[in-house]
Amino acid sequence: APVELTWERSVLLQGNVAEEIKKLRAQDGPELQVHGSGNLIQTLLQHDLVDELWLKIFPITLGTGKRLFAEGTTPAAFTLREAKTSPSGVIVASFERAGEVQTGSFA
């Protein structure tokens, strides 16, 4: 059965997701957002399709679970643009893409 997309301006991505995202980015329209899909974020990072990250950091540790930036994540540099802290200690931070990762040495 076909997937019914009820969220306004939703687009069903099938096949080569990176190519489909590139086509959407080339069109005139609103920003593209990803909510809660670590696998899709990994694909977008691999294809240099992430311009901005909004992260929510909660003051707890779980010890288990899926990591957003696990081993094998494509290196990418970001610059902090904005950060706010809620009364309960949740940090909401916005980062924008800052080119390639620059590494140094201790020598």
Domain map (residue ranges) of the chain: 17-97
What's residue 21's pLDDT? Answer: 92
Quick one: pLDDT at residue 59?
95
Cβ–Cβ under 8 Å, residues 89 and 59: yes
Predicted TM-score (pTM) of this structure: 0.75
pLDDT beneath 50: ranges in the chain: none
Best CATH choice for the domain 17-97 from the list 3.30.230.70, 3.10.180.10, 3.40.640.10, 3.40.430.10: 3.40.430.10
pLDDT of residue 78: 94
Q: CA 65 from chain center: how many Å?
A: 18
State how far the Cα of 17 lies from the Cα of 15, in Å rounded to an integer.
Answer: 6
